[in-house]
């Protein structure tokens, strides 16, 4: 996930970025390039700020203090110090270092807003941010410090501090170094901030927005993986695919539900194990269970609801990516106006919505896994899928691991955005907590990845116990392909082995999309 030169730079102009572009820059190191229209717009808005420098009328961020200190007039000879002091004092994060991709997303979001020409910063400020991104200079940011209102203040301040040549950064090789040293090595000159520029660099929802965009990409893959896991469990538990029929889901035509059902239906098509349960050698119907359990039968409804939530979250993210978020802001007719567009509520809400969906998808996955391990519900499989039950424990504790993760995911589903702690002497008396919502969603997505990996690992073991392994597989073609990829890194059933490495190997295959890719290749078409 380091610096990528495979693709041309992403142009940053006055128009919006797209979600896929953000992921390519933040996660994969794609370069950026400011367009002529962005430079022209920034030059024009800077003229507005320069015209106010000598104005006797106070202008927030230009000739006043900040937050609750906005009533204090700052004389001309102290305004450079004003901007420098703002950044130094606000670079107050603490705690564990946040991931590189989060910081790059944060930087990109702020640069994108600068490129709209609504912030009043000079072109050199934006050009230096772009140079830092392209040189893979990533400021060190702690996880605590943002309340998600008045911007992601502390995280953004650490980036602005690096722009000034202060603080610490990580370079392309991952080593933490003083910002001044990294900038000099990359041939980038630090910037001395002028009127309003310090404020413009920290007044945005960029951190939480970056986390939302990255989470959207991750969850899109995980929901396809959840459909794959559900299909493997239906097959491994000798369930029926009749409930995934298109005509049944047309009766309740939620798009996400329809897409999930179509995925599962395609993954199970022509499965010999399913067909075996439906008909005898004479062709007579012999499926003895009237209905499968909810965790099998209702997978499209739950996965579909998560898809709908994701679609809403992506629409919010796209609107934010096309927004100019700053306070005060330069209007098209040259006014400088205070506003509340920095409030993180729109982003914070959907980050919390996604955490709820993630918890529910994981909860259903754990329930499917548990069915494989119980002889009363597994339809002929060994207890806990053990080679020699009693001597061996099989996947007993793998389900414990799932249960522990799901329990935590339920805690993480409690919304951060319903909380608010007033700050800045009650000037900022209602905040969004969107940054916290983003951090907990990232942890939740990691948990869902692990839960789905354990379900797939368990389902594959059950299928091997049913049909003897890949050589005699009676799975559908796409599920057989997935089993083959998994068996490339994890052995089939046998006496108990050290299980943690096998869970981790499966997690990697879920995380990097290898299992979904194998299924899609066998299907001959992408899953919805």
Contact 403, 455 (CB under 8 A): no
Catalytic residue among 60, 144, 349, 498: 60
Domain ranges of the chain: 10-203, 212-523
Describe the chain by its helix, strand, coil percentages, rounded to 5: 55, 5, 35
Cα(283)–Cα(367) distance, rounded to whole angstroms?
Answer: 33
Cα(316)–Cα(261) distance, rounded to whole angstroms?
Answer: 26
pLDDT digit string, tens, across residues 452-497: 999 999 999 999 999 999 999 999 999 999 999 999 999 999 999 9
pLDDT of residue 239: 95
* Per-residue pLDDT band at 3 (split at 50, 70, 90): very low
Cα(323)–Cα(116) distance, rounded to whole angstroms?
Answer: 8
476-486 b/e (C-beta count within 10 Å ≥ 16 → b): bbbbbbbbebb
Chain CA centroid to CA 404, Å: 22
151: three-class secondary structure by DSSP: coil
Cα(476)–Cα(296) distance, rounded to whole angstroms?
Answer: 17
- Classify burial at 338, counting beta carbons within 10 Å of its beta carbon; exposed 0-12, middle 13-18, buried 19 or more: exposed
Lowest average pLDDT, out of 80-84, 170-174, 476-480, 523-527, goes to: 80-84
Instruction: Specify the CATH number of the domain 212-523.
Output: 1.20.200.10
pLDDT of residue 277: 67
pLDDT digit string, tens, across residues 153-196: 999 999 999 999 999 999 988 889 999 999 999 999 999 999 99
Q: What is the pTM of this model?
A: 0.94
pLDDT digit string, tens, across residues 265-297: 999 999 999 988 665 444 444 455 668 999 999
The tokens of 143 are what?
Answer: 């996880």
Cα(333)–Cα(241) distance, rounded to whole angstroms?
Answer: 61
Lowest average pLDDT, out of 143-147, 162-166, 224-228, 441-445, goes to: 143-147
pLDDT of residue 68: 55
Please determine, for residue 95, whether its predicted confidence score (pLDDT) is greater than 90: yes
The tokens of 505 are what?
Answer: 């190997």
Cα(111)–Cα(375) distance, rounded to whole angstroms?
Answer: 58
pLDDT of residue 282: 45
Contact 479, 271 (CB under 8 A): yes
Contact 160, 27 (CB under 8 A): no
For 76-145, the DSSP string reads: GGGHHHHHHHHHHHH---EEEEPPHHHHHHHHHHHHHHHHTT-S---HHHHHHHHHHHHTT-EE--EEE-
Q: What is the mean pLDDT of the chain?
A: 92
Query: Positive or negative CA dihedral for 44, 45, 46, 50?
Result: positive
Contact 315, 20 (CB under 8 A): no
DSSP code for 251: T
Strand stretches in 146-196, DSSP E: 168-170, 176-178
Q: Which residue has the higher pLDDT, 92 or 422?
A: 92
For the chain, how far is it from start to end, CA to CA, in angstroms? Answer: 26
Tally DSSP H helices, then E strands, for the chain.
20, 9
pLDDT of residue 149: 82
Comparing C-alpha atoms, which of 92, 1, 144 is closest to residue 440? Answer: 144
The residue with tokens 């609504």 is: 118
Contact 49, 165 (CB under 8 A): no
- 400 catalytic per annotation: no
pLDDT of residue 281: 47
Q: What is the mean pLDDT of residues 191-210?
A: 93
250-259 b/e (C-beta count within 10 Å ≥ 16 → b): eeeebebbbb
Q: What is the mean pLDDT of residues 80-108?
A: 94
- 336 - beta bridge partners? 330
DSSP code for 423: B
Please determine, for residue 435, whether its predicted confidence score (pLDDT) is greater than 80: yes
The residue with tokens 């008396």 is: 429
CATH class of 10-203: mainly alpha
DSSP code for 279: B
Please determine, for residue 43, whether its predicted confidence score (pLDDT) is greater than 70: yes
Q: Phi first, then psi: give them for residue 352, nearest 5 degrees.
A: -70, -40
């Amino acid at each position: 996930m380091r610096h990528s030169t495979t693709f041309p730079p992403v142009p940053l102009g006055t128009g919006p970025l797209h979600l896929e572009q953000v992921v390519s820059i933040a996660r994969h190191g794609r370069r950026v390039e400011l367009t002529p229209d962005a430079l022209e717009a920034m030059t024009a808005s800077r003229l507005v700020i320069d015209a106010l420098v000598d104005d006797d009328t106070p202008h927030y961020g230009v000739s006043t203090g900040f937050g609750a200190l906005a009533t204090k007039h700052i004389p001309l000879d102290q305004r450079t110090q004003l901007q420098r002091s703002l950044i130094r004092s606000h670079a107050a994060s603490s705690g564990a270092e946040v991931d590189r991709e989060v910081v790059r997303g944060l930087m990109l979001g702020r640069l994108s807003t600068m490129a709209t020409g609504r912030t009043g910063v000079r072109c050199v400020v934006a050009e230096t941010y772009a140079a830092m991104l392209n040189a893979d200079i990533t400021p060190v940011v702690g996880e605590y410090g943002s309340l998600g209102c008045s911007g992601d203040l502390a995280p953004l301040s650490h980036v602005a501090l690096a722009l000034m040549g202060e603080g610490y950064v990580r370079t392309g090789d991952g080593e933490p170094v003083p910002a001044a040293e990294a900038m000099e090595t990359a041939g980038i000159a630090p910037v001395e901030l002028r009127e309003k520029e310090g404020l413009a660099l920290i007044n945005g929802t960029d951190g939480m927005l970056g986390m939302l965009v990255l989470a959207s990409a991750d969850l899109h893959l995980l929901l396809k993986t959840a459909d794959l896991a559900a299909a493997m469990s239906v097959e491994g538990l000798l369930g029926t695919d009749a409930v995934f029929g298109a005509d049944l889901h047309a009766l309740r035509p939620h798009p996400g539900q329809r897409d999930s059902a179509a995925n599962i239906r395609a993954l199970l098509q022509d499965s010999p194990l399913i067909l075996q349960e439906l008909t005898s050698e004479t062709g007579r119907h012999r499926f003895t269970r009237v209905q499968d359990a909810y965790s099998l039968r209702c997978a499209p409804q739950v996965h579909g609801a998560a898809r709908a939530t994701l679609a809403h979250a992506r629409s919010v993210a796209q609107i934010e990516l096309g927004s100019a978020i700053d306070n005060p802001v330069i209007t098209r007719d040259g006014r400088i106006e205070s506003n509340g567009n920095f409030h993180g509520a729109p982003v914070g809400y959907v980050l919390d919505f996604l955490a709820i969906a993630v918890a529910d998808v994981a909860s259903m996955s754990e329930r499917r896994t548990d069915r494989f391990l119980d002889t009363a519900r597994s339809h002929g499989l060994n207890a806990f899928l053990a080679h020699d039950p009693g001597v061996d424990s099989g996947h007993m504790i793998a389900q414990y691991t799932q249960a522990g993760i799901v329990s935590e995911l339920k805690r993480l589903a409690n919304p951060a955005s319903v909380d608010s702690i007033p700050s800045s002497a009650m000037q900022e008396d209602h905040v969004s907590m969107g940054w916290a919502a983003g951090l907990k969603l990232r942890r939740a997505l990691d948990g869902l990845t692990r839960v789905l990996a354990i379900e797939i690992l368990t389902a594959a073991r059950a299928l091997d116990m049913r049909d003897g392994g890949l050589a005699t597989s009676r799975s559908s073609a796409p599920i057989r392909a997935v089993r083959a990829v998994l068996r490339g890194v994890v052995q089939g059933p046998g006496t108990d082995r050290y299980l943690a490495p096998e869970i981790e190997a499966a997690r990697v295959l879920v995380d990097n999309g290898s299992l979904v890719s194998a299924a899609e290749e066998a299907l001959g078409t992408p899953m919805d």
